[in-house]
Structure 1
């Protein structure tokens, strides 16, 4: 089984994701091969007192572009929007932003 820190790569901090904090929704970049139960277990393991209600995932294809040596491509990645339950604690990482 993967470590929770291998499943959750980093939080995504954008204007839109900050607006979703009022609805108890947090956005993370996750491993491309991670599924929803793995993401839920990783979030609950990393952050104490957090209970996940729902996980939504989206796959993004890396952008293509020209380089000096021909064509190149950025890596594909996966985004997860995690909804917490009403009685759950907030994730402290996002509090001071």
Structure 2
């Protein structure tokens, strides 16, 4: 006899609130509402386990915090150098032997 499905309608997990169950076949899905206002479907198992915390807005917010500065070409070492102050680019006019 199959196990009864757990009803998580109305519960909040991270930034999402579960609205209702959606027919999902083998993997049951739920309709969710994110705190940013976007509605989306997600696997019920992933929501319960905490693998799905938002519609994707959380990932984009975290990515915005870690903006890397682009290195300038003159500060990037090329090839094997023995002195940290010397950077040689083969084919350049300033290339020394």
Name the TM-score, length of structure 2 as normaliser.
Answer: 0.26
Structure with higher RCO (Cα < 8 A, 6+ apart):
1
Between structures 1 and 2, the one with greater strand share: 1
Q: Rg: which structure is higher? A: 2
Between structures 1 and 2, the one with greater helix share: 1
